[in-house]
Amino acid sequence: MTSNHNQVPWKALLIILLVSIITALHFLTSTEHIYLHSIYQRSYYIPIVLASFWFEILGGLATTAGLSSVYLRLLNQTLDC
């Protein structure tokens, strides 16, 4: 029998992995491909929803706060061009 405590690390790692992959795709895709950026932007909802289900409201809020800081950095980089 597996306890909930043992499941938390892989769930958190999966959320971090999803955020990292989506963010890498954002940073590596040229701004000419705006349709891809729209898809990537909406893909950020997946880790937020997963964190909300797995870690309740605080997990969803923490994920949202982390993603907001990452996305603001992406916007700052894009606007500096």
Q: 28-54: buried (b, 16+ CB within 10 Å) or exposed (e) per residue?
A: eeeeeeeeebeebeebbeebbebbbeb
pLDDT in tens, 11-36: 999 999 999 999 899 889 988 999 99
Identity (one letter) of the amino acid at 11?
A: K
Q: What is the model's pLDDT at position 26?
A: 85
pLDDT value at 61 more than 60: yes
Q: Domain map of the chain by residue range? A: 17-79
